[in-house]
Structure 1
Amino acid sequence: MDDSLKRSVETEDVDALYSIISYDLDVLETLDQIPLIDTPLHIAASVGNTHFALEIATLKPSFAWRLNGHGLNPMHLALLNGHDQLVTSMITTEDIDLLAELLSACPSSIEDLTVRCETAVHVAVKNGRLSAFKVLLGWLRRANKEEMVKWKEEDGNTVLHVATFTNQPKVMELLIGTVNVNAKNFNGLIAMDMFRLMGDSKDSEVGKILRRA
């Protein structure tokens, strides 16, 4: 990789990146043709440069699935280096078109977990990203991977648990019929138990959905 491009990644200098691209319009395309290298997205993911990583992913979504010489893609590197915020940003981006492209380019990324054992769906719901959740759920259904919405994070919470304690009835309506409403977390609580413990902060619509289910 060109030294100036590498420096722009390491220093998270987006202006320098676009300056390099304006000088050589094919610079990213050229890198995409070289097998088993660390692309700019790999480097940004390794050091946790979130903003730069999103810029690169927008410009070249195919970098998301590329494996480096150690067989790792950018998501793997971010997870290995503990850069949860970068992972969160990549899989819950508000740019729905970009999210769809990332899933298309790197379908295995849907199964990557954060250090808290959260799936992309957990992260989207925890951050209140309804549009991102819809894209992820639709993709899981088309890929016959709906079982993933039943996966539990480190506290044993399913996505339904998360949607319950964050008061997201629209998410819950989409989940009902796919998840087990009686699944218990590691404290032995089902979603309804969690709802009852929420006190004044609970949304009555959430309770109605759980009771119907």
Structure 2
Amino acid sequence: MDTSIDPRLSAAARLGNIDAFYALIQEDPYMLDIIDQIPFVHTPFHIAAHEGQIHFAMERMKLKPSFARKLNQDGFSPMHLALRNGQIKLVLRLLKTDKDLVRVKGREGMTLHYVVTKCPF
């Protein structure tokens, strides 16, 4: 199974282009389901979280909430990436939507709850 996602989807997530995303979904309505079948993958949600694309990330959260708990090949969830990259507004928006995301276990079993308690901010 191919573990890469369509480069156009990656670009849409990186740029926060919701219109381009929906155009791709019109081409292939199963695109997100196929990505969701891959156990460890850098999803469009991961990309948007890393880049701080709040609106794009929140749109992904509505359409495919399972992506919020999915780990990429490095063992990070979208929330882990957002926190590591200082995207605090996005972290807070995601937690407002689903407070249990702090319990998602990532690399080395670390949860966001543990990471946040250790952060100096």
> In which range does the TM-score fall when normalised by the shorter chain?
0.7 to 0.9
Residue of structure 2 in register with 1:169 after alignment: none
Query: What residue ranges of structure 1 are gaps of 5+ in the alignment?
Result: 94-98, 119-152, 156-213
TM-score (norm 1): 0.47
Would the alpha carbon gap of residues 115 and 23 (structure 1) be closer, same or farther in structure 2, given more than 3 Å must change? Answer: same
Q: Which one-letter code corresponds to 1:16 in the other structure? A: A
**By how many angstroms is 1:36 displaced?**
1.4
Residue of structure 1 in register with 2:108 after alignment: none
Instruction: Provide the rounded CA distance (Å) in 2 between the counterparts of 1:113 and 1:87.
Output: 12
Instruction: Provide the rounded CA distance (Å) in 2 between the counterparts of 1:70 and 1:154.
Output: 24
Residue of structure 2 in register with 1:62 after alignment: 66
The answer to whether the Cα contact below 8 Å between 1:84 and 1:115 also exists between their aligned partners in 2 is: no
From 103, 107, 116, give the equivalent of 1:108: 103
Q: How many residues align?
A: 112
Residue of structure 1 in register with 2:54 after alignment: 50
**By how many angstroms is 1:2 displaced?**
0.4
Q: What CA RMSD, in Å, does the superposition of the two structures yield over aligned residues?
A: 2.7
Q: Which one-letter code corresponds to 2:69 in the other structure? A: W
Q: How does 1:19-34 map to 2 (within 5 A)?
A: 19-34=23-38
Instruction: Provide the rounded CA distance (Å) in 2 between the counterparts of 1:12 and 1:64.
Output: 17
**Rg bigger for which structure?**
1
Correspondence 1:13 to 2:17: yes
Instruction: Provide the rounded CA distance (Å) in 2 between the counterparts of 1:48 and 1:70.
Output: 19
Equivalent position SS for 1:92: helix
TM-score (norm 2): 0.80
The answer to whether the Cα contact below 8 Å between 1:87 and 1:114 also exists between their aligned partners in 2 is: no
Q: How does 1:1-213 map to 2 (within 5 A)?
A: 1-93=5-97, 99=98, 103=100, 106=101, 108-109=103-104, 112-113=112-113, 117=117
Residue of structure 1 in register with 2:107 after alignment: none
